[in-house]
Copies of this chain bind each other. A is one copy, B any other.
Amino acid sequence: MVYTTRIEYFNAAHKLWNESWTAEQNKEVFGKCANENFHGHNYELYVTVKGEPNPDTGFVINAKDLGKIIKEIVVDKLDHFNLNLDVDFLKGKFTSAENVAIGIWNELYPFIQEKGSTLHCVKLVETKSIYVEYYG
């Protein structure tokens, strides 16, 4: 079993906001992340798949194929968008890094499976100080 990771990038706006709370509560819990007019990040997305290297190619998965899946299934919906307003698979969710990573996992899983590999981990780096990892 070998683990192969592909790294892609997207730049997005978001805010952390719980609609069932008052503005004061949101500010207290989320601090600056609750700014009404949004802020944003250069997100780094690490997608790790696992499997046996194919004897004809030496690949767990063809990196071109993996990159294409990630781009078409998630990055094209996230890059230069607003995570709170523009992304179908995040509708109605708090856009914490944790929830965005879980959302990306759910979108990618079947398409990786279809290629004969298994999704192992989605790692999402939000800033130089915070990242999250989800293993399903």
Contact = CB atoms under 8 A, between A and B. Distances in A.
Nearest to A37: B82
B7 A59 contact: no
Contact of A40 (B40, B48, B102, B133): B40
A80 B2 contact: no
A23 interface: no
Interface size range of chain A in the complex: 35 or more
Given A37-B82, A38-B82, A40-B41, A67 B12 contact: no
B41 A11 contact: yes
A13 B37 contact: yes
* Prevailing SS type, chain A contact patch: mixed
Given A5-B130, A130-B5, A12 B29 contact: no
Given A41-B42, A98-B58, A102-B2, A32 B131 contact: no
Interface of A: 1-9, 11-14, 16, 18, 29-33, 35, 37-42, 48, 53, 56-60, 62-64, 67, 79-82, 85-86, 93-99, 101-102, 127-135
Q: Which 7 A-B pairs have the closest CB atoms?
A: A40-B40, A58-B96, A58-B94, A32-B80, A37-B82, A13-B13, A13-B38
